[in-house]
Chain A
Amino acid sequence: MTTPGVRLTLDRPVAHYLPGDQLTGQFKIEGSKAWGVRSAELSVLWYTAGKGEEDMAVHHFERLVDDPSKPLDLRVPRPFAAKLPLGPLSYDGDIVKVCWCVRARLFLPHGQTAVAETAFRLGTVPAARPPGQEPDGDSLEAETEQAANS
């Protein structure tokens, strides 16, 4: 059984935001088929990647439910907006990375789900190590000794 494609777009052409900025965008089902979506969730969240176990937290959460009095038709684009927090800022470290994204999750009949995700950067913290620069192999002790003797 197939699931619908979900289009999730941010209003800014460059997905780069500063703390306190307003994040706006919209999401919709691709195509003209109704699909009978039971509910939909829109989250603005951050998660960690890298060597450690994943940590995540949701900053903004919206849940839309299909109701007879208010049918959920996601063929019509659904706008969303969220004020971004002061942190954590996006970070690309050696073994710890902090990634921000907007995620739309659609709950379909028969327990099926469809998910779409769009990443964005929060803040201006550059990568801990520029691309191509490998971590130095010297231990802190060796470096300290060298620095102290120089």
Chain B
Amino acid sequence: MDEPLRISASIVDYALVVAYFAVVLLVGLAARRRVSGSLDFFLSGRSLPAWITGLAFISANLGAVEIIGMSANGAQYGMPTMHYYWIGAIPAMLFLGVVMMPFYYGSKVRSVPEFMLRRFGPGAHLVNAISFALAQILIAGINLFLLATVVNSLLGWPLWVALLLAAAIVLSYITLGGLSAAIYNEVLQFFVIVAALLPLTLIGLHRVGGVGGLIDRVEQSVGGGAEQLRAWPGSELAGFDNPILSVVGIVLGLGFVLSFGYWTTNFVEVQRALATPSMSAARNTPIVASFPKMFIPFVVVIPGMIAGVLVPEVMRLKAEQAAGVTYNDAILLLIRDVLPNGLLGVALAGLLAAFMAGMAANISAFNTVFSYDLWQRYVRQDRPDGYYVKVGRWATVGATLLAIGTAFIAAGYSNLMNYLQTLFGFFNAPLFATFILGILWKRMTATAGWAGLVAGTLGAVAVWVMNEAGVISLPGQGAAFVSAGVAFVVDIVVSVLVTLVTAPKPASELSGLVLSETPKRLRTDPAANRLPWYRAPAKLAGISLVLVIVLNLIFR
């Protein structure tokens, strides 16, 4: 696949890429001078404004898999890909900001596993911390692999050189500056990514004759058609022929279990919100993030669709002829075909930035969970703060080395998007079930906490194994939707059954952790009433929800 993808970068393009990495390293160095206590290192001293953490919140998710995967989906399926944003992200982000964040922020935990510890005790904590750390290393490996693949195919550097170089850069800036540097760089990355993707989209649209030209070409193209221009019912994407089943599958599978599971319990995301100075700012983080998030598909999915009607290789692919490329290459091929030298360098910097953002986010979340939830809790307790900061640094180095290993595992998978969705089904769906039940139902016991998690994960694994073995037959994304749904239901059922036969924690220990036991003043910001509307979480969330409904109506 390297020959069709080779891009003729000039010295100017390289200079633009180098400039980006130089700034990233400078930010790390500058941030290093401010690292003091361990809380500062891990949570940036809770001092960042909501618009910064909000953009970091998006960037942490706008990684390799997102850009490559969503543009590939755009090329293959067209507009139904928008569901990953408008159904699969926005509602869950708003729910996180409005409902869940008060419990995270108000209980002053440093990580999601720490919340499990306070609510359910060591059993659920250990299960969650280990599975989370494992998932982060696996996902970091995917990001690292994609990063190296792009460097390899664009610039011709050998894969292993690209891997080591990418790992070294990610490592140096996290180790240098901690979460502050990671968050600052994520904000920077967001703008570089937009600076890369927006011209790509506009020039691409110009090449196909504007929006009208794109619509005509998609309608008439082989492997295209009118249904690729409408978001609903999305039968091709969900893999269900029946339009009603398809809508139900997208709304419940993608929109509820998978997306709520991902956005509300994924510590990579939540950690960004915890770095703000007030409850309102923490709640605003995902809500502010939802506004740019709903427009990102226009510069990710649309270029994929343009590639599907403009790039010869992708057109052959859609016509089911031998093309020598995959849908994953769609956005790279479009960059090759429409961007002149100069903008090409910005695009390369943007892509490399995005790929690093994802990996850096995985590594810094791993780092927190490893040093506080595993090392401090189960290996060495009661050491001074500096000791755990040092452990955190070494954990970062170790995680990066492990990610190089898991990158080679990821290299063995042909469809990384399905692999990733499957991982989310295993880890996030049961966690979401346990979490939401634990917040709402004060009787839920400690044993039920870990038993539900384990049973839910096993349920998802069972569905996956049956699908792999051919006992049941579900199409690509459908399998991930169903196994996440099974994990959710099994977790709830097991948790309820176990709770009924075990003794609950005394209500006095549940303050700040369970809705009915938390006084209202702990869940709200005392200054919230005086905030202007653009800083009030509930009002902002309402505006965001209306906007996303309008988008769905326009593109139905």
Judge: A and B partners, yes or no.
Answer: no
A residues neighboring B (CB under 8 Å): none
